[in-house]
Protein backbone atom coordinates (compact mmCIF):
# COMPACT_ATOMS: atom_id res chain seq x y z
CA UNK A 1 0.00 0.00 0.00
CA UNK A 2 1.29 3.42 -0.87
CA UNK A 3 0.40 6.73 0.61
CA UNK A 4 0.73 10.16 -0.82
CA UNK A 5 0.74 13.65 0.55
CA UNK A 6 -0.68 15.06 -2.66
CA UNK A 7 -3.52 17.43 -1.92
CA UNK A 8 -7.03 16.35 -2.82
CA UNK A 9 -7.92 17.95 -6.14
CA UNK A 10 -10.50 20.71 -5.96
CA UNK A 11 -13.79 19.80 -7.63
CA UNK A 12 -14.35 21.77 -10.79
CA UNK A 13 -16.85 24.57 -10.39
CA UNK A 14 -19.47 25.57 -12.92
CA UNK A 15 -18.68 28.14 -15.58
CA UNK A 16 -21.93 30.08 -16.08
CA UNK A 17 -22.75 31.49 -19.49
CA UNK A 18 -25.44 33.99 -20.47
CA UNK A 19 -28.05 31.23 -20.51
CA UNK A 20 -27.14 29.53 -17.23
CA UNK A 21 -25.99 32.53 -15.14
CA UNK A 22 -29.44 33.07 -13.61
CA UNK A 23 -29.67 29.43 -12.55
CA UNK A 24 -26.33 29.59 -10.71
CA UNK A 25 -27.04 33.03 -9.19
CA UNK A 26 -30.37 31.86 -7.81
CA UNK A 27 -28.87 28.65 -6.43
CA UNK A 28 -26.53 30.87 -4.44
CA UNK A 29 -29.70 32.30 -2.83
CA UNK A 30 -31.03 28.75 -2.31
CA UNK A 31 -33.68 29.10 -4.98
CA UNK A 32 -34.21 26.80 -7.94
CA UNK A 33 -35.08 28.49 -11.22
CA UNK A 34 -35.40 27.05 -14.69
CA UNK A 35 -35.60 28.57 -18.11
CA UNK A 36 -39.14 28.60 -19.50
CA UNK A 37 -39.91 29.21 -23.15
CA UNK A 38 -41.97 32.37 -23.76
CA UNK A 39 -43.63 30.67 -26.75
CA UNK A 40 -44.60 27.17 -25.53
CA UNK A 41 -44.11 27.73 -21.74
CA UNK A 42 -42.15 24.48 -21.31
CA UNK A 43 -39.35 24.48 -18.74
CA UNK A 44 -35.95 23.16 -19.65
CA UNK A 45 -32.67 22.07 -18.10
CA UNK A 46 -29.83 22.47 -18.69
CA UNK A 47 -29.98 26.06 -19.87
CA UNK A 48 -29.89 26.47 -23.63
CA UNK A 49 -30.06 29.50 -25.95
CA UNK A 50 -33.21 28.23 -27.69
CA UNK A 51 -36.15 26.03 -26.76
CA UNK A 52 -35.45 22.34 -27.49
CA UNK A 53 -39.18 21.78 -28.06
CA UNK A 54 -40.11 24.63 -30.44
CA UNK A 55 -36.77 26.35 -31.18
CA UNK A 56 -38.06 29.72 -29.92
CA UNK A 57 -35.10 31.90 -28.86
CA UNK A 58 -36.74 33.84 -26.01
CA UNK A 59 -37.10 32.61 -22.47
CA UNK A 60 -37.75 33.74 -18.92
CA UNK A 61 -36.63 32.36 -15.57
CA UNK A 62 -39.30 30.64 -13.51
CA UNK A 63 -38.90 29.78 -9.88
CA UNK A 64 -39.48 26.13 -9.08
CA UNK A 65 -40.16 24.65 -5.67
CA UNK A 66 -37.27 22.27 -6.21
CA UNK A 67 -39.43 19.36 -5.13
CA UNK A 68 -40.30 16.55 -7.46
CA UNK A 69 -40.32 12.85 -8.22
CA UNK A 70 -37.33 10.68 -9.10
CA UNK A 71 -37.62 9.75 -12.78
CA UNK A 72 -34.36 7.81 -12.92
CA UNK A 73 -30.91 7.65 -11.39
CA UNK A 74 -27.44 6.20 -11.79
CA UNK A 75 -24.86 5.30 -9.20
CA UNK A 76 -21.36 6.47 -10.06
CA UNK A 77 -18.74 3.93 -9.00
CA UNK A 78 -15.76 5.32 -10.89
CA UNK A 79 -15.08 9.05 -10.62
CA UNK A 80 -14.80 10.90 -13.90
CA UNK A 81 -12.59 13.46 -12.19
CA UNK A 82 -10.02 12.72 -9.43
CA UNK A 83 -11.64 15.40 -7.30
CA UNK A 84 -14.67 13.12 -6.85
CA UNK A 85 -12.73 9.93 -6.14
CA UNK A 86 -13.44 10.15 -2.41
CA UNK A 87 -17.17 10.58 -3.09
CA UNK A 88 -17.81 7.33 -4.95
CA UNK A 89 -20.17 5.68 -4.95
CA UNK A 90 -22.59 8.59 -5.37
CA UNK A 91 -25.93 8.97 -7.06
CA UNK A 92 -27.02 11.29 -9.87
CA UNK A 93 -30.76 11.55 -10.32
CA UNK A 94 -33.11 12.85 -12.95
CA UNK A 95 -36.08 14.45 -11.22
CA UNK A 96 -39.41 15.52 -12.66
CA UNK A 97 -40.00 18.81 -10.87
CA UNK A 98 -43.36 19.81 -9.52
CA UNK A 99 -44.74 22.43 -11.90
CA UNK A 100 -42.82 21.05 -14.89
CA UNK A 101 -39.28 20.55 -16.03
CA UNK A 102 -36.78 17.77 -15.47
CA UNK A 103 -33.54 18.46 -13.64
CA UNK A 104 -30.37 16.40 -13.18
CA UNK A 105 -28.35 16.65 -9.96
CA UNK A 106 -26.66 14.56 -7.35
CA UNK A 107 -28.87 12.88 -4.81
CA UNK A 108 -27.74 12.52 -1.21
CA UNK A 109 -28.98 8.95 -0.91
CA UNK A 110 -30.31 6.59 -3.48
CA UNK A 111 -34.06 7.01 -3.45
CA UNK A 112 -36.14 4.67 -5.57
CA UNK A 113 -37.72 5.74 -8.83
CA UNK A 114 -40.96 7.51 -7.96
CA UNK A 115 -39.69 8.74 -4.59
CA UNK A 116 -40.47 12.30 -3.55
CA UNK A 117 -37.37 14.48 -3.24
CA UNK A 118 -36.58 18.06 -2.35
CA UNK A 119 -33.62 20.40 -2.69
CA UNK A 120 -30.54 20.32 -0.52
CA UNK A 121 -28.27 23.29 -1.19
CA UNK A 122 -24.55 22.68 -0.71
CA UNK A 123 -22.63 25.94 -0.39
CA UNK A 124 -19.08 25.89 -1.69
CA UNK A 125 -16.69 28.83 -1.39
CA UNK A 126 -18.03 30.77 -4.36
CA UNK A 127 -20.85 28.69 -5.79
CA UNK A 128 -23.76 26.60 -4.62
CA UNK A 129 -24.63 23.10 -5.69
CA UNK A 130 -28.12 21.65 -5.84
CA UNK A 131 -28.54 18.13 -4.61
CA UNK A 132 -31.73 16.22 -4.04
CA UNK A 133 -32.67 14.50 -0.83
CA UNK A 134 -35.55 12.14 -0.25
CA UNK A 135 -38.52 13.72 1.49
CA UNK A 136 -40.13 11.99 4.39
CA UNK A 137 -43.31 10.20 3.48
CA UNK A 138 -46.31 11.97 5.00
Q: In what order do the strands lie in the sheet with 32-37?
A: 43-44, 32-37, 59-64
- Cα 101 from chain centre: 12
Contact between 34 and Zn ion by CB under 5 A: the answer reads: no
Least distance from Zn ion to the Cβ atom of residue 59, Å: 8
Query: Stretches 12-20, 35-43, 71-79, 123-131: which one binds Zn ion (CB under 5 A)?
Result: 35-43
**Residues 6 or more apart whose Cβ sits within 8 Å of residue 120:** 108, 130, 131, 132, 133
Least distance from Zn ion to the Cβ atom of residue 127, Å: 28
Q: Quick one: which of 9, 11, 28, 53 contacts Zn ion (CB under 5 A)? A: 53
Contact between 54 and Zn ion by CB under 5 A: the answer reads: yes
Contact between 39 and Zn ion by CB under 5 A: the answer reads: yes
Tell me phi and psi for residue 131, to 5 degrees: -125, 160
Residues found near Zn ion in the complex (CB under 5 A): 37, 39-40, 51, 53-54, 56
Amino acid sequence: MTTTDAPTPTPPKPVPDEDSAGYWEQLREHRVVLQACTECDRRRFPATPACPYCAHPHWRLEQAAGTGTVYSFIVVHRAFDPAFAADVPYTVATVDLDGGGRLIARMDLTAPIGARVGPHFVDHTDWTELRFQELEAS
